[in-house]
Amino acid sequence: MKKMIKLFCKPRLPLLRRGLGRGVLSLLLFTAITANAQTKSILLLNGIAHIGNDSIIKNSVIGIKNGKIILAADAAIAKIDKSSYDETIDVTGKHLYPGIIAPYSTLGLSEMEAVRATNDFKEVGAILPNVRSLIAYNTDSKIIPTVRTNGVLMVQVTPRGGMVAGTSSVMMLDGWNWEDAAYKIDDAIHLNWPLMQTHKFLDEDNLYYGPYEKNKDYLKQTNDLKKLFADAKAYNEGDAKKEKNLRFEAMKGLFNGSQNLFIHADNVKEIIEAVNFVKQNGLKRAVIVGGKDSWMVTDLLRENNIAVVVSRVHDLPDHPEDDVDQPFKLPYLLQKAGVLFCISSDGNMEAMETRNLPFMAGTAAAYGLTKEQALKAITLSTAKILGIDKTTGSIEAGKDANLFISTGDVLDMRTSNVEKAYLKGISIDLNNDQKALYEKYKKKYGLK
């Protein structure tokens, strides 16, 4: 039984966490530019507004002007001047939600996972902080339109290769090109914490793994990381008169607090090590991604202000002995312990699965969270963790008008039905190729 057969199915992205080599990319910084700006102001009247901050306005009035929410209030109380809006939409009985944000995603970097030519989420090499997802983000991905139809309007596009995987950016799911789709450029650097126990692969393509064993390189790998961070810190504190090191340059933001460090770690010991690494390096902002065992060290996380991006809730427990619903209730366990967290959809068939992110929050609601807490875990909390909560993540006056309307509860597939969505006040197209094919074949068969 030595010969392996490779059936390409659902590539397991976590397997792609390791790689070798190096890549050099331009360090030019771009400013986010929106191609089109909102011209007509809108008033959304009498909808059930789920604010995103764990509160709800049952009969709301939401005013949108110049791409911003200028009014978000109870319709019974607020004074409304309808005439000051170009358009008034009656949304009685319908639900308003802030645009959902998908953290830690490869959406836009991968089109068909089994087709190598369509994959752009992984570089060669172990230390790749200067590799940036932003420029590979394909605004014309056929997957993106199928995702925003379920209310996901923003995504943190994240590279995956190597130990330090690269730099992510937060993108809007609409735009002519990556420049105008960018919402926050180079928001974070992503680190795959070395695994304490690893497995050998049984095949040459590194798809099928064998039994686990102690990672003999663990000490070397963590030492490499320590050295990298010490060097990068010294480099960025020192005089400018030196040869440029693109990797160190790329890490500057980690030390001045303008950038986040996302550390992917699931195992409890690895999480503890990662938190101590953050402390030892005096990093101002850090986040644990994955965090399957994070519920075991909530005090440590809370005390160090480290948030958790919970990986796909629709997952199996790691051990047969685990509670059957362990992955389902992880968000609740973190909520109960007062740890800041958000939910991501990373995992198998990740790009496509982004459209199911609202339902993962729905499951978290079935297993302990309230529905509004679950919503917060894919909107405002995500925005906070990504550092964009000042401008988005909730339906509050002053923020960008990133929101959508659904006829029913959007966390439940049984009722989810997104009718309209806005990014910076502009109504976005909710059609996609799949809907078009549906219509085409309905017509072929004469179905209604």
Partner 1 sequence: MKKIFLFILTISVCNFSTAQETFPVNGTSNINHNYYAFTNAKIFVDNDLIIEKGTLLIKDGLVVSTGEKTAIPQGTVVFDLKGKSIYPSLIDAYTNYGMPEPKAAAHGLFPQLESNTKGAYGWNQAVKAETEAEKIFISDNKSAEDMRRMGFGAVLTFHKDGIVRGSAAVVSLGEGRANEVMISSEAAAMYSFDKGTSTQDYPSSLMGAIALLRQTYLDAEWYKNNKTKKDYNITLNAFNGLQALPQIFETVDKFSALRAAKIGEEFKVNYIIKGSGNEYQRIDDIKASKCRFIIPLNFPVAYDVDDAYDAVNISMTELKHWEMAPVNPSAMEKYSIPFAITAADLKDKKDFWKNLRKAIAYGLSEKQALKSLTVTPAEFLNVSDKIGKLKSGMIANFIITSGNLFNEKTIIYENWVQGNPYKINDYNTIDLKGIYDFEYAGKKSGLLKIEGEPDKLKGTITVDTAKTLVNIAVAGNSITITFNPKDASGTVRLSGNINNETMKMSGTGQTPDGGWVDWKASFKLAAAVETKKDSAKKEMPLIGQITYPFCAYGKKQDALPGVEKIIGDFKMRDAVILIKHVTVWTNEADGILKNKDVYIANGRIERIADDINATKLEFAKVIDGTGKHLTPGIIDEHSHIAIANGVNEGTHVSSAEVRIGDVINCEDINIYRQLAGGVTSAQLLHGSANPIGGQSAIIKLRWGKSPEEMKFAKADGFIKFALGENVKQSNWGDFNVIRFPQSRMGVEQVYYDYFTRAKEYDARQKAYKTLSDKEKAAATPFRRDLELEALAEILNQKRFITCHSYVQSEINMLMHVADSMGFKVNTFTHILEGYKVADKMKAHGAGASTFSDWWAYKAEVKDAIPYNASLLTQMGITTAINSDDAEMGRRLNQEAAKSVKYGGMSEEDALKMVTLNPAKLLHIDNKVGSIKVGKEADLVLWSDNPLSIYAKAEKTIIDGQIYYDIDEDVKQRVEMQKERARIIQKMIDEKKGGAAIQKPVLKKPKLDGCETMEFNYMSEE
Q: Kindly list the residues in this chain that would bind partner 1 in the complex (CB under 8 A).
A: 1-11, 111-115, 142-143, 197, 202, 204-205, 207-214, 267-269, 296, 314-321, 323-325, 349, 351-352, 355-356, 359, 362-363, 365-366, 411-414, 416-417, 434-435, 437-438, 441-442, 445, 447
DSSP state of 83: G
Query: Which phi and psi angles does 386 have, rounded to 5°?
Result: -85, -10
CB of 207 to partner 1, least distance (A): 7
Task: Between 206 and 245, name the residue whose CB sits nearer to partner 1.
Answer: 206
Asked if 351 and 319 touch (Cβ cutoff 8 Å), the reply is no
Which residue, 25 or 196, is less far from partner 1 as judged by CB? 196
71 versus 377: smaller Cβ distance to partner 1: 377
Q: CB within 8 A of 378, min separation 6: which ones?
A: 100, 101, 102, 342, 343, 357, 358, 360, 361
Query: At a CB cut-off of 8 Å and minimum separation 6, what does 206 contact?
Result: 15
Considering the complex, state which of residue 7 and residue 28 has its C-beta at the smaller distance from partner 1. Answer: 7
Compute the distance between CA of residue 200 and CA of residue 39 in angstroms, rounded to an integer. Answer: 57
Shortest Å, Cβ 11 to partner 1: 7
Quick check: 181 and 383 in contact, CB under 8 A?
Answer: no
Q: How far is the CB of 134 from partner 1 (least distance, A)?
A: 22
Please say which residue, 174 or 353, places its beta carbon nearer to partner 1. Answer: 353
> With respect to partner 1, which residue has the nearer C-beta, 241 or 414?
414
**CB 404, min distance to partner 1, A:** 15
Nearest CA-CA partner of 314 in 327, 323, 324: 327
Greatest pairwise CA separation for the chain in angstroms: 75
The distance of closest approach from Cβ of residue 436 to partner 1 in the complex, given in angstroms and rounded to an integer, is 9
- Min separation Cβ 309 and partner 1, Å: 19
Residue from 299, 249, 307 nearest 278 by CA: 307
Q: What angle do CA 140, 205, 104 make, to 5 degrees?
A: 40
The three-state secondary structure class of 446 is coil
CB of 2 to partner 1, least distance (A): 6
Helices and strands of the chain, counted as H and E runs: 13, 18
Beta carbons of 365 and 373 less than 8 angstroms apart: yes
Residue with Cβ nearer partner 1 (302 or 314): 314
